[in-house]
Amino acid sequence: MASSLFDLTGEVAVVIGGTGALGGGMADALAAAGATIAIVGRNAENGQKRVQEIEKAGGKAIFQSADAMDKDSLTAGRDAIIKKLGGVTILINAAGGNKPEATLPPGSDFCKLPVAAWNTVFELNLAGGVLLPCQVFGETMLAVGKGSIINIASLSGMTPLSRVVAYSAAKAAVINLTQFLAREWATKGIRVNAISPGFFPAEQNRKLLYNDDGSYSTRGQQIIGHTPMSRFGSAEELGGATVWLASSKASSFVTGQNIVVDGGFSSVTI
């Protein structure tokens, strides 16, 4: 009985940003639970690699090229996925990231932060990261009255971390938009939730967390010292929360929530 709560057989899951480490880990977990996966992104090489890994593990997946920042591209991608796999019932919005030019080094002047860099981070994380995919795929979910949308927010969207001011503000907006859509679509069969990862090493932040010799950087040491579990997370550790939120049986009364996966980082106030 318990295992059937997390059985996603027959579900079609779109993972935007599935070419990356965290999105890829979430795609793996959904495939292992029985869902058919459409990896959506711009990097065909990485996308096909993820598809092969899923298939090697016994899952089903395809890659669909699309640009999350372009609504027409997303719409064309959605229609191609539906034609190949059938109606989409799960949407994972895992695209996003920060930009160096929108980061404040120690001692820098916030008043000189370039507005263009700020806007780029918001477009990447809020418009392309959540707004446009929810509009495009939400349209077809609403038509059939069924769907689970999971947006990837961030620990920094809950507590503004130093340096990454634009990224923190954008992820706070992701949480807010998640709650808005959850309220709007609650009676229409669509559940909308967010997952806020803590610190998970990936290509984008590896140099921030590690020195060239593999030891923790000063920043990495500070984070580890503030994390009760005394380590960083790994991509597969997002799988449980992802499958739970994706399952209409396991989380049927859960919407508008922000699930934090951070090794206890947010529980430490000092």
Catalytic residues: 167
How many Å apart are CA 150 and CA 25, to the nearest integer? 14
AA identity, residue 7: D
Q: How far apart are CA 145 and CA 129, in angstroms?
A: 23
- Residue 76 burial class via C-beta count within 10 angstroms: exposed 0-12, middle 13-18, buried 19 and up: middle
Note every long-range contact of 255-258, with CB atoms under 8 Å and residues 24 or more positions apart, other chains counting: 255/182, 255/186, 255/191, 255/192, 255/193, 256/178, 256/179, 256/182, 256/183, 256/186, 256/192, 256/193, 257/182, 257/193, 257/194, 258/153, 258/158, 258/175, 258/178, 258/193, 258/194, 258/195, 258/196
Q: What is the Cβ-side half-sphere exposure of residue 166, based on CA atoms within 13 angstroms?
A: 27
3-state secondary structure of 26: helix
88: region left, alpha or beta (phi > 0 left; psi from -120 to 50 alpha) = beta
3 state DSSP class of 253: coil
